[in-house]
């Protein structure tokens, strides 16, 4: 039987636990994804200060946002492009790092109904 990919397992907001032996436990009861809101400017631009605040919101809730996994040219922050997925090196990293993991949408404070992308959050269990 084929092992399910993390992209299949980690639907947005669905917290998983990576155990010491690399196995995945899900769902994880009593643990919730961080509730975050990214500030944007009138042109829907996200500035460095906005991203730092977003990271601080996650930290206050006990989560660390992963950075540097996006393939977006010239950007190594926490926001993944909607076309990206949990696979390859990112999937390996998650499977090799025991703890709690969740993919979240990057919701913004503008009137646009579309998320700015998504992010991956980690918390020691």
The Cα angle at residue 107 between residues 51 and 59, in degrees rounded to 5: 50
State mean pLDDT over 44-59: 94
State mean pLDDT over 93-118: 93
Stated pTM of the model:
0.94
Mean pLDDT rounded to a whole number for the chain: 94
Residue 9, pLDDT > 80, answer yes
Residue 39: burial class (beta carbons within 10 Å; 0-12, 13-18, 19+): middle
Segment among 4-8, 55-59, 100-104 with least mean pLDDT: 4-8
Top pLDDT among 2 and 104 is at 104
Residue 125, pLDDT > 90, answer no
């Amino acid at each position: 039987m084929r092992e399910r990919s993390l992209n299949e397992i980690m639907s947005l907001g669905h917290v998983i636990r990576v155990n010491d032996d690399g196995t995945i436990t899900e769902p994880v009861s009593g643990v919730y994804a961080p509730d975050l809101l990214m500030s944007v400017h009138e042109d829907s631009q996200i500035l460095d200060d906005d991203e730092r605040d977003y990271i601080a919101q996650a930290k206050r809730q006990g989560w660390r946002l992963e950075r540097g996994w996006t393939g977006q040219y010239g950007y190594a922050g926490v926001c993944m492009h909607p076309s990206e997925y949990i696979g390859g090196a990112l999937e390996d990293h998650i499977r090799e790092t025991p703890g709690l993991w969740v993919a979240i949408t990057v919701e913004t404070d503008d009137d646009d109904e579309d998320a700015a992308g998504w992010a991956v959050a980690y918390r020691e269990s």
